Chains A and B, each alone.
Chain A
Amino acid sequence: MPLALFAEQVLNGLQFGVMLFLMSAGLTLVFGVMGLINLAHGSLYMIGGFICAAVAAFTGSFLLGLGAALAGAAAAGVLVETLVIRRLYARDHLDQVLATFALILIFSEGTRWVFGSFPLFLDVPDLLSGPVSLPLGIQYPAYRLMIIVVGLLVALGLYLLITRTRLGIRIRAGESDREMIAALGVDIAWLYTIVFALGAALAGLAGALVGAIQSVQIGMGEPVLILAFVVIVIGGIGSVKGALIGAILVGMTDTLGRFLLPQFFATFMENTSATTIGSSLASMLIYILMAGVLIFKPQGLFGGAS
């Protein structure tokens, strides 16, 4: 197998992982700090994609669209948190799942009402369209490299936010003991709203970035949401570091599995069945990975004991 092809697939895995990280960072923060299962996280991803597509089509600028997607998703997050989610913190997880599932339906049909049933157009900005040449003779799409860079910058930013700022201290405190920090006079309701909006903005950013290379359509968030849950379970619920490692692990496993498994089976079986078996096994691989991690580390790779 040519080295360039393998290196390109590793880059693809990294890019997929970074994209999953943007999605799961918000999910894991919300779960860690508020103890809330938010199924509607995928809807915020979809909102980011739609706002970016609409604003980019209206103004002709992808960058403005990206900014609008961040702001719009954060605003939607604040709205949802204050109107609905706030009433769910004290309830058990089943009530939260039920209410946030209802939010998925409301957001999907609401989006159809505003934008219609057909997918929207959103393309990568001209500056980043087309491939760039990397060492080893790899041709790699410039836009995907940009996603990797943005994702790693967001990871760095989150790390600094959580370890170096007052807000970060409160978030960490909220994770370990929410009654105590409320007793110490921290406005916990306000903190929750901020954390939720932050998670929503990250999901919106992911939706807008990914919308440009995939498709901006209703229901685009749910498949990603499932993978994001796998990521936070592997990484350990509540841990942003775990989300980063878990996301890259899942991205690599999925991409390289899809690529290598059919070839592996083809070494000793007939081509068509090797493709079928290889693809089927590849689609199970991340769940096998999750099961494996849970056997040895039931709390996930970086999860604290509960």
Chain B
Amino acid sequence: MKALKTLMASAAVLMATQATADVKVGMITTLSGGGAGLGIDVRDGFMLATQMAGRDDLEVVIEDDQRKPDIAVQLADKMIQSEDVDILTGIIWSNLAMAVVPSATAQGKFYLSPNAGPSALAGRGCHENYFNVAWQNDNLHEAAGAYANSAEYANSFILAPNYPAGQDALTGYKRMYEGELAGEIYTQLGQTDYAAEIAQIRASGADSVYFFLPGGMGIAFLKQYAASGVDLPVVGPAFSFDQGILQAVGDAALGVVNTSQWNKDIDNAANAAFVEAFQAEYGRLPSLYASQGYDTANLIISAMNVADVDDQDAFRAALEAADFASVRGDFEFGSNHHPIQDIYVREVIKEGDVYTNRIIGTGLENHADAYAADCSLN
């Protein structure tokens, strides 16, 4: 009888060691429709990292959320219930993240965000299994506010779309900016004509303009602004100046200052290898979204090296350690699992025929988000 017990115990131990098998990642991202460029970059960056690491014990399932919250929720349910993934990642938009992340983490899955960082998930709604590898939504805007102070702007005109991330953007800017506001406008989400706003900027007597208009909205604004003859300096977050968008804006973007946690000229070995491999693999320059996907994959791989994903506490500790070579250089997580990182100030330049950015300074050093204090994780 005793022999049988020992046998069973050793069998159990054997089975447990065999179970250090594969990690399955479910990626839900936007691959069709208006915002597809962002999801494609995150996916390509992520897959490049797994390819370069040559891990055959990392399986990735990729699905397209079409930028619709209901579809993202369906896909997450499918991945959790029938695909039995260990880790979810990939979502670009904050409203989709809010629909998926809380229920995924409550079901005991890890979620690593390669982009969206809504304030609700950084503060009171933080979760031990939720990690943000990009930024908290306010971060780049805060850096822009800090830049405006150092550039001695004293009368900014600020505008953003009227939706939660837009309100976060202006809040973030105002949190750091010390000057007066010449005007504050909320535009419609998806608006493409900014003639009325530009006329108000012209009449306002502002000395600078700050705008958060992601995607096509930013392209439209910059072209119309350049044609209007208003020549106040413009500052924006990297979202309107990433590699995918700049080529469509053209000369209108040249010289514009924008804030980002990453750029292709950050001087470290990991970044140089990433930029070179990305261009070789896909034939285009990487964007900041691609860098975020790449870092997310490398974070997962670094945790796989030291812990088994089935041992959640050990795997979580390995993720928290963030022991990987980030393309941003120094990278660590704060107590709420959001990055503490430098945010740079960049300028749009033209290299040959290609529009891109170069770093001209640091906006905020070792910056953590404003919501960490509300998070109960410690």
Chain A residues with CB under 8 Å of chain B are 2, 4-5, 8-9, 12-13, 15-16, 108-109, 112, 117-124, 129-131, 139, 141, 143-144, 210, 212-220, 223, 255, 258-259, 262, 271-272, 275-276, 279-280, 282-283
B213 to chain A, nearest CB (A): 11
Total interface residues on B, using CB and 8 Å? 40
CB contacts (< 8 Å) of A112 on chain B: these are 32, 36
The answer to whether the Cβ of B149 comes within 8 Å of any Cβ in the partner chain is no
* Bound CA–CA A258/B159 (angstroms): 13
- Since A123-B251, A124-B227 are in contact, a sample of 10 more A-B pairs with Cβ atoms closer than 8 Å, ordered by chain A residue number, is A123-B223, A123-B250, A123-B252, A130-B227, A141-B228, A144-B227, A213-B220, A217-B215, A259-B199, A276-B186
* Bound CA–CA A215/B246 (angstroms): 11
Given A124-B227, A220-B216, verify A5-B200 contact (CB < 8 Å). Answer: yes
The answer to whether the Cβ of B352 comes within 8 Å of any Cβ in the partner chain is no
The answer to whether the Cβ of B335 comes within 8 Å of any Cβ in the partner chain is no
A-B contact pairs, 20 of them (CB 8 A): A5-B203, A9-B199, A16-B195, A117-B37, A139-B202, A139-B229, A212-B223, A213-B223, A213-B227, A214-B216, A215-B248, A217-B248, A220-B192, A220-B216, A255-B195, A255-B196, A275-B186, A279-B162, A279-B185, A280-B162
**Residue pair A119, B227 in contact (C-beta under 8 Å):** no
**Residue pair A276, B200 in contact (C-beta under 8 Å):** no
CB contacts (< 8 Å) of A210 on chain B: these are 192
CB contacts (< 8 Å) of B267 on chain A: these are none
Given A214-B219, A215-B216, A276-B162, verify A258-B244 contact (CB < 8 Å). Answer: no
Chain B residues with CB under 8 Å of chain A are 32-34, 36-37, 40, 162, 184-188, 190, 192-193, 195-197, 199-200, 202-203, 215-217, 219-220, 223-224, 227-229, 244-245, 247-252
How many pairs, one residue from A and one from B, have CB atoms within 8 Å of each other in the complex? 131
**Residue pair B37, A118 in contact (C-beta under 8 Å):** yes
Residue of B nearest to A19 (CB): B193
**Residue pair A118, B200 in contact (C-beta under 8 Å):** no
Residue of A nearest to B30 (CB): A117
Tell which of A120, A216, A218, A262 touches B185, judged by Cβ atoms closer than 8 Å: A262
Residue of A nearest to B40 (CB): A117
CB contacts (< 8 Å) of B220 on chain A: these are 213-215
Residue of B nearest to A271 (CB): B184
**Residue pair A214, B223 in contact (C-beta under 8 Å):** yes
CB contacts (< 8 Å) of A218 on chain B: these are 33-34, 36
CB contacts (< 8 Å) of A9 on chain B: these are 196, 199
Tell which of B33, B200, B223, B229 touches A131, judged by Cβ atoms closer than 8 Å: B229
Residue of B nearest to A108 (CB): B33
* Bound CA–CA A15/B194 (angstroms): 12
* Bound CA–CA A2/B216 (angstroms): 31
A145 to chain B, nearest CB (A): 11
Residue of A nearest to B185 (CB): A275
* Bound CA–CA A212/B252 (angstroms): 12
**Residue pair B36, A5 in contact (C-beta under 8 Å):** no
**Residue pair B216, A217 in contact (C-beta under 8 Å):** yes
Given A2-B203, A118-B247, A121-B248, verify A275-B184 contact (CB < 8 Å). Answer: yes
* Bound CA–CA A59/B36 (angstroms): 28
